[in-house]
Amino acid sequence: MSSYDKLVPTHGHVTQANIHVDSAAVLSAKTVRIVPTTFSARATQSIAKAEDRALVTNTLDRAMCVRLSDRFEIVAENQPADLTVHAVVTNVIPTDAGAAALSTVASLGSSVVLPVGVPRLPIGLGGLSVEAEAIGKDGTQKAGIVWARGANSFANKARVSRVGDAYSLAASFGNDFSKILLIGKSPFGGGPSLPPLHRVRSGLGGQSKYAACEAFGRAPGLPGLVGGELGLPPAWTDKVPEHAVARSQVAQRGTE
pLDDT exceeds cutoff 70 at 194:
yes
CB-based contact 87:37 (threshold 8 Å): yes
Going by pLDDT thresholds of 50, 70 and 90, the confidence category of residue 100 is: confident
Q: Say whether 52 sits in a helix, a strand or coil.
A: helix
Cα gap 226→203, rounded to integer Å: 13
Q: What is the mean pLDDT of residues 86-104?
A: 90
Rounded to two decimals, the pTM is: 0.91
Going by pLDDT thresholds of 50, 70 and 90, the confidence category of residue 114 is: very low
pLDDT in tens, 134-159: 999 999 999 999 999 999 888 888 88
Which of the 8 DSSP states describes residue 213? G
**Of 117, 91, 78, which Cα lies nearest the Cα of 229?**
117
Q: What is the mean pLDDT of residues 34-41?
A: 97
The DSSP H or E segment spanning 85 is: strand 83-93
User: Half-sphere exposure of 148 toward its Cβ, with a 13 Å CA cutoff?
Assistant: 8
CB-based contact 111:117 (threshold 8 Å): yes
* CB neighbours of residue 116 within 10 Å: 8
**Considering the chain, what percentage of its residues have pLDDT values greater than 90?**
76
Res 256: pLDDT: 58
pLDDT exceeds cutoff 50 at 115:
no
Res 108: pLDDT: 58
Angstrom CA distances, 223 to 32, 166, 232, stand at: 30, 19, 10
pLDDT in tens, 45-60: 999 999 999 999 999 9
The one-letter code for the residue type at 250 is V
pLDDT exceeds cutoff 60 at 253:
yes
